[in-house]
Amino acid sequence: MPLKMLLFSFYGANTMIVSFLPLLLTYRGLSRQEVGWVLAIGPAVSIVAQLFWGYISDKFQTVKNVLIITLIGLLISSVFYFQAQTLMLILCFSIIYYFFQSSIAPLSDSLAQRQAEEIGISFGSIRTWGSIGFAVFSILVGEIIDWTGIQYLIIPYFIMASITLILSTRVKDVTIKKAAIQLKDLHKLFKNAPLIIFLVVLSLVSITHRMNDSYMSLFISDLGGGDNIVGLAWFIGVVSEALVIAFSGRWLKNLHPLIWITTSGLIYALRWIIYSLIANPMLIVAFQVLNGFSYGIFFVMSFQYVSRLIPEQLQTTGHLLYSTVIFGISGIIASLGGGYLFEQFGGSTLYFVMAILALLGSCLILLYHIVIRKTSKAV
């Protein structure tokens, strides 16, 4: 229960970063492209930070203590980050903030994955609490800031992050009865060809997801929707995601994970092409129900498939490598590329390009599935 509540509270806080931070940045006077620069900092820092914290976690065989350290750093740095007024200060404080923030989600997911295996339940049954927290606070915070103003976003964020820190001291750590890893052991991950190729082709789809994370709020705003509509859109999307993740253990076993990942990529492509044609922000809200069948399936099945490709003693580092590629490198491309496309051509063109990328990624994942089963013993 403490782990479920930790996921609930952290993702409740995280919705304020994903859903409303772009709106705060535009309130500070940043252009669409400048917002893209700021949002690219997080993924860029995460490439180093996630591998660093993952190595520390596996080296000292503890996820819980690393989680506590990163949450303390997040709390302190968030105060300065949210209150920064100029572009230069925002960029500087964002580096410090994301050094701690970017590893909390993958560390928590790694802990959930290991505990699920220990007690014999599905990963989704634990992880879904994160989606529930994200959904609840997306609509709640949307209503609050629509009433109080986006400039006060730091208050609900700091409260939820503090609750997460308290809960992190209550979670059960996972003990691995194997020798602590050495730096040279990390080479095993980068020499794992099926893993690396899989992450590369997967990133084509994840880039489109990260573009939507960064710019859907601004797209809704451009279409005439208020902060409460932004919150409602995220609420609908994450509720559908939570339902899919919650029941994933029952019906996602029917087909190979790569088939499900390909399917989710095709749903992404359909979703983005629909968004590119929309002129009413409430239609964005309605079609957010597709988030569960795109991201919900995509995340659960890709995370579990990656877990099969990683040695047990490197699970945390491997999961953070997955997060680095899928959310880090993909996030940099999404933030910078998406910001440029949004600024120069508008949101509709951005979503059309996203549809093409998702379709290409789906085709390559299917090709990977066909080739890997013929040439390798990998699952």
Residue among 330, 263, 327 at smallest CA distance from 290: 263
Domain containing residue 221: 2-375
pLDDT of residue 163: 96
CATH number at residue 142: 1.20.1250.20
Q: How far apart are CA 118 and CA 121, in angstroms?
A: 8
Contact 191, 317 (CB under 8 A): no
Helix (H/G/I), strand (E/B), else coil: 195? helix
Q: Considering its fold, how many domains does the chain have in total?
A: 1
Helix (H/G/I), strand (E/B), else coil: 241? helix
Helix (H/G/I), strand (E/B), else coil: 170? coil
Distances (CA, A) of 46 to 43, 87, 99, 135: 5, 20, 6, 24
**133-177 tens-digit pLDDT:** 988 998 899 889 989 999 999 999 999 999 999 999 998 887 655
**277-316 tens-digit pLDDT:** 999 999 999 999 999 999 989 988 998 888 888 877 777 6
Which residue stretches of the chain are H helix? 2-15, 21-27, 32-59, 64-83, 87-101, 104-119, 123-148, 154-168, 187-190, 193-222, 227-246, 248-251, 257-276, 281-287, 291, 297-309, 315-323, 330-345, 347-375
**217-244 tens-digit pLDDT:** 999 999 999 888 999 998 999 889 888 8
Contact 262, 302 (CB under 8 A): no
Q: Against a cut of 0.85, is the pTM above it?
A: no
